[in-house]
């Protein structure tokens, strides 16, 4: 598999394979969205197929739901599941406190709802997503289509009082049309470059009328798994204060993951 996958994708695969090892029979599992999460869903599906693992998956987007069904995972709604044992998802950035920026795939609203309804959240990523300070990746903010321009002006005014470096706001597009989320909303991407106080910014954004949810995940993730292109996987548990490194053998043949994309 290492011959077919890029170094970055090999790292994502390694992190995903390590993460699904934390899933136990009978669990209710939140399934994230994005390229890294897609590796995870396929690895989890392999356990369902090969080991007879019985779980119920709650997807965070329509495309994750379709992939989960394709690989044999039973898909249920969050309301049907009631509460989740574990959510596994990727991240666009993660800092030392395991505060995240998510939403590059446009699903951070459902991702945050699902992760918040879980006993634990594991983030899987490659080493490039680890940052000292959040903000280089644009912060997604899901907003209503109604009053979009006024909401953008209110966000701009709010940013003037925040500890951020940049202030550019762009409407996310899908080709020539605005991107529409699974909930029928739009996304404004905030190009902040540096976020000095994520908690203050998150609270201020979510007080603005028209804002549905922002992509800052604070005090939600308790474990991060970092994959490397040589098969090394580092697991950091912030609650237990542990750091573990293992090396996985990456198969050389049978690439089942070459259709994965953001």
Active-site residues, by number, are: 111
Question: CB-hemisphere CA count at 13 Å for 25?
Answer: 4
Instruction: Tell me: is residue 126 an annotated ligand-binding position.
Output: no
Instruction: Tell me: is residue 104 an annotated ligand-binding position.
Output: yes
DSSP character string of 80-146: HH-SBSEEEE--SEE-TT--EE--TTS-HHHHHHHHHTBS-EEEEEEGGGB-SSS-SSPEEEEE-ST
225 touches 22 (CB < 8 A): no
Instruction: Tell me: is residue 89 an annotated ligand-binding position.
Output: yes
Q: Bridge partners of 126?
A: 227
Tell me phi and psi for residue 19, to 5 degrees. Answer: -65, -40
Instruction: Tell me: is residue 103 an annotated ligand-binding position.
Output: yes
Tell me phi and psi for residue 5, to 5 degrees. Answer: -90, 150
Instruction: Report d(CA 160, CA 151) in Å as an integer.
Output: 15
Instruction: Tell me: is residue 12 an annotated ligand-binding position.
Output: no
Instruction: Tell me: is residue 36 an annotated ligand-binding position.
Output: yes
Instruction: Tell me: is residue 161 an annotated ligand-binding position.
Output: no
192 touches 165 (CB < 8 A): yes
What would the two tokens of residue 115 be? 């992760």
Instruction: Tell me: is residue 92 an annotated ligand-binding position.
Output: yes
Residue by residue, what is the 3-state secondary structure of 31-51? ECCCHHHHHHHHHHHHHHHHH
DSSP 8-class letter at 164 = B
Instruction: Tell me: is residue 105 an annotated ligand-binding position.
Output: yes
Instruction: Tell me: is residue 91 an annotated ligand-binding position.
Output: yes
Question: Which residues participate in the annotated binding site for substrate?
Answer: 33-36, 89-92, 102-105, 129
Annotated binding site: 33-36, 89-92, 102-105, 129
């Amino acid at each position: 598999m290492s011959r077919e996958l890029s170094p970055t994708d090999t790292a994502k695969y390694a992190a995903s394979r390590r993460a699904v090892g934390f899933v136990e029979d009978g669990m209710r599992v939140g399934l994230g969205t994005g390229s890294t999460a897609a590796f995870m869903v396929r690895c989890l599906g392999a356990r369902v197929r090969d080991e007879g693992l019985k779980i119920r998956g709650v997807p965070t987007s329509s495309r994750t739901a379709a992939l989960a069904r394709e690989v044999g995972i039973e898909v249920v709604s969050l309301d049907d599941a009631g509460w989740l044992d574990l959510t596994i998802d990727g991240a666009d950035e993660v800092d030392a406190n395991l505060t995240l920026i998510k939403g590059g795939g446009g699903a951070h609203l459902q991702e945050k709802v699902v992760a918040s309804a879980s006993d634990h959240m594991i983030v899987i990523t490659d080493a490039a997503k680890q940052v000292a300070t959040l903000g280089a990746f644009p912060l997604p903010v899901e907003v209503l289509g109604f009053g979009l321009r006024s909401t953008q002006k209110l966000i701009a005014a709010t940013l003037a009082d925040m500890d951020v470096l940049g202030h550019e706001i762009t409407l996310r597009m899908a080709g020539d049309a605005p991107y529409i989320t699974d909930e029928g909303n739009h996304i404004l991407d905030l190009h902040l470059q540096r976020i000095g106080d994520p908690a203050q910014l998150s609270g201020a954004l979510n007080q603005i009328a028209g804002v549905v949810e922002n992509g800052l995940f604070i005090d939600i993730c308790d474990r991060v798994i970092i994959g490397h292109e040589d098969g090394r996987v580092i697991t950091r548990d912030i609650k237990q204060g542990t750091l573990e490194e293992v090396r996985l053998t990456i198969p050389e043949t049978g690439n089942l993951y070459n259709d994965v994309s953001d």
